[in-house]
């Protein structure tokens, strides 16, 4: 069963096409949900009993987020119109490249592009 994870910010490059503009996605860590950017090294250290403190926020390159969705590891969502939850899905650009968009977007990832810029914590 995939983990349900919120995206509330993106890192984007304004020079690229809308399908390639989003470079990273990020969001808050939730209790009892492993952060999507938890590395296999950290997972191995946790299995050995070492206490590893998770950061309050996660950040992930968009290609890794796409891979995680396609493999069934994560289901991402955003808050839309303050009260609605909208799923994020993988789509294919006209050039054949996979990208993330919300289920309410027609073609380009407009709702994700409207999210604020992620900042490292």
Structural domain boundaries, residue 81: 3-113
Residue 15 lies in a domain: yes
Residue 118 domain flag: no
44, two tokens: 């191995």
Does residue 82 lie in a domain region? yes
Query: In this predicted model, what pLDDT tens digit does every residue of 48-95 receive, in sequence order?
Result: 877 666 668 888 999 999 999 999 999 999 998 878 999 999 999 999
Residue 108 sits at φ, ψ, to 5 deg, of -85, 160
- Does residue 61 fall inside a structural domain? yes
* Predicted structure pTM score: 0.81
Could you tell me if residue 121 is inside a domain? no
Distance (Å, whole) CA 53 – CA 56: 9
Q: Is position 28 within any domain?
A: yes
Q: Is residue 119 part of a domain?
A: no
Count of domains in the chain?
1
pLDDT the model gives residue 39: 58
pLDDT, tens digit, for every residue of 6-52?
999 999 998 888 899 999 999 998 777 777 765 556 666 767 877 66
């Amino acid at each position: 069963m995939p983990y349900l994870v919120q995206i509330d910010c993106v890192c984007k490059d304004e020079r690229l096409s809308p399908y390639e503009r989003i470079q990273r996605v990020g969001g808050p860590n939730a209790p009892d949900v492993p952060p999507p950017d938890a590395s296999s090294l950290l997972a191995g250290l946790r299995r050995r009993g070492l206490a590893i403190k998770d950061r309050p926020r996660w950040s992930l390159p968009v290609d890794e987020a796409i891979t995680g969705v396609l493999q069934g590891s994560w289901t991402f969502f955003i808050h839309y119109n303050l009260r609605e939850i909208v799923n994020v899905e993988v789509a294919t650009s006209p050039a054949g490249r996979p990208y993330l968009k919300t289920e309410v977007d027609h073609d380009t990832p407009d709702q994700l592009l409207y999210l604020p810029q992620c900042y490292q914590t």
